[in-house]
Amino acid sequence: MDPAEFRRLGHELVDWVADYRAGIEDLPVMSRAQPGEIEALLPADPPVKGEGLADIVADLDRVVLPGITHWTHPGWFAYFPANTDLASVLADLVSSGLGAQGMNWQTSPAATEVENVVMEWLRRMLGLPDTFSGVIQDTASTATLCALLCAREWTAGYGQNRGGLQAEPHPLVVYASDQAHSSVRKAALLAGFGAENLRLIETDDAHALRIDLLEQAIEQDMADGRRPCALVAAVGTTATTALDPVEAAARTAQRHGLWLHVDAALAGTAMICPEERWMWQGIEHADSLVLNPHKWLGAGFDLSAYYVRDPEHLVRVMSTDPSYLRTAQDGVVRNLRDWGIPLGRRFRALKLWFVIREYGVEGLQERVRRDLANARWLQAQVDEAPDWQRMAPVPLQTVCLRHVPAELRGDETALTIHNLTIADAVNAAGRSYVTSAVLKGRQMIRVSIGAQATERRHVEGVWAELRAAAGEPAVVSGEPAAAGSPADA
């Protein structure tokens, strides 16, 4: 495509994206497409002759849009907020347009150096000490795999350069809580530890890691001739945003020589507000840490921030040095290909650079505080509503709840069906989208607040919809219910 055609179509597509975002509230949050419906709209064979992209906007409306679940919708309460601020969309346009590869410093010095700078900016915003060095990864799953690989090689004294994991005399063991994200189990299995060497430790009533049971498990493994290797602590678990005690976890890790990886994928963003940093007290002792600016902070997917205390160790585990990748600057610059699994690297730092410049630290803090206040408001409503049960503390922006009417009390099967039905009804209506999940055997509804467009009225709206779906007196969406008023009881 030549630049003139790109200019013409580019303007058209910028307008299409602007119109999409401006009108998003009128779309059903969750796509109503049925399996196979989108595929059926496309030919089975590729076009033999080029068709150009003259009809592309029509095809986006016809084929793509009906199959999109709208993550930036103000009624987005599912999974996690993934805000993809429009400033980061612009940054991605520049990144794609430049088509630069940041695998080596020399293959585009700006890609590496802007990344160095914005990862330092973010480190300062989070209040992390300068003993941490940061690098962008695609996802927290990948970052956690990197962490467990680094833990493995650290414990095994770089066994990868000898017989590998298969030559280890004592099985290496990984620890996390039973609320750890599925990516921790996946990473442990992919890294070769094996399910039998993964300990998912029971959690307390707040769904946080129990250090006493962790200590017991470590002692038992050592007595059995196994070798404790890594501990993954979550600051903000996926199901309920539970907070594992980082400081105590770090003490245990230090005592037994474990690598401490902290998964703050979602919660990390809240740490740009100094008053929230009690949640990861002790973070300076972590060996590695991941948080996702592509969630709540507003950078478009994919942009995970991975911080390590010993970048030389990371590089030693990940580096390759074939002659065709060597450059004159190798000794004095970072070659970020050696800081993760993939060789090729997109220029992703631009997204974070644009978002931080657009809002400034204070602008981003303000939005986080708005979302935290909205979550506390919903928490208060749930606590005051007699037939509703809050399933977990609300330190962050996720409220876990379920409806427990008197007639179903004690009947878990009936409660499961009842709450799945409520969530399905809300999601089918299309104004809001919540996630169903199971917490320690009990069905619940997760309301994850933090989409950029979500204001108090939308949180009031989803609460009214949940109550209506549960058969409670209708509360008209958009008409703010006074907190604690009799109507809520």
Interaction with a second copy in 229-258: which residues (CB under 8 A)? Answer: 238-239
355 vs 464, which CB is nearer to a second copy?
Answer: 355
**Residues facing residue 366 across a β-bridge:** none
For tokens 């245990």, name the residue.
Answer: 252
Q: Is 476 in the site for a second copy (CB under 8 A)?
A: no
Q: Kindly write out the interface string for residues 120-159 of this chain, putting x where it contacts a second copy by CB under 8 A and - elsewhere.
A: xxx-xx------------xxxxx--x---x--x------x
Q: Are 103 and 346 in contact (CB under 8 A)?
A: no
Provide φ and ψ at 421, rounded to 5°.
-65, -40
**Helices and strands of the chain, counted as H and E runs:** 12, 12
Q: Is 30 in the site for a second copy (CB under 8 A)?
A: yes
Q: Are 231 and 154 in contact (CB under 8 A)?
A: no
Q: Is 109 in the site for a second copy (CB under 8 A)?
A: yes
Q: Kindly write out the interface string for residues 3-22 of this chain, putting x where it contacts a second copy by CB under 8 A and - elsewhere.
A: xxxxx-xxx-xxxxxxxxxx
Q: Is 222 in the site for a second copy (CB under 8 A)?
A: no
Distance CA 309, CA 259 (A): 11
Q: How far is the CB of 431 from a second copy (least distance, A)?
A: 17
For the record, the structure tokens of 14 come out as 């910028």
291-310: contacts with a second copy (CB under 8 A)? 294, 300-302
Q: Is 401 in the site for a second copy (CB under 8 A)?
A: no
Q: Is 185 in the site for a second copy (CB under 8 A)?
A: yes
Q: Is 432 in the site for a second copy (CB under 8 A)?
A: no
Q: Is 27 in the site for a second copy (CB under 8 A)?
A: no
Distance CA 410, CA 416 (A): 11
322-381: contacts with a second copy (CB under 8 A)? 322-326, 329, 332-333, 341-344, 346, 350, 354, 356-363
**Which of 373, 438, 474, 483 is close enough to bind a second copy by CB under 8 A?**
438
Q: Is 99 in the site for a second copy (CB under 8 A)?
A: yes
Q: Are 351 and 92 in contact (CB under 8 A)?
A: yes
Size of the site for a second copy (CB under 8 A): 158
Residue type at 236? G
Q: Is 428 in the site for a second copy (CB under 8 A)?
A: no
Q: Is 195 in the site for a second copy (CB under 8 A)?
A: yes
6 vs 480, which CB is nearer to a second copy?
Answer: 6
Contacts of 473 (CB under 8 A, 6+ apart): 467, 487
Give the single-character DSSP code of 34: P
CA atoms within 13 A on the CB side of 265: 29
Q: Are 148 and 187 in contact (CB under 8 A)?
A: yes
73-92: contacts with a second copy (CB under 8 A)? 79, 82-90, 92
Candidate ranges 161-169, 206-214, 251-259, 476-484; the one touching a second copy (CB under 8 A) = 161-169
Q: Are 203 and 239 in contact (CB under 8 A)?
A: no
Residue type at 318? M
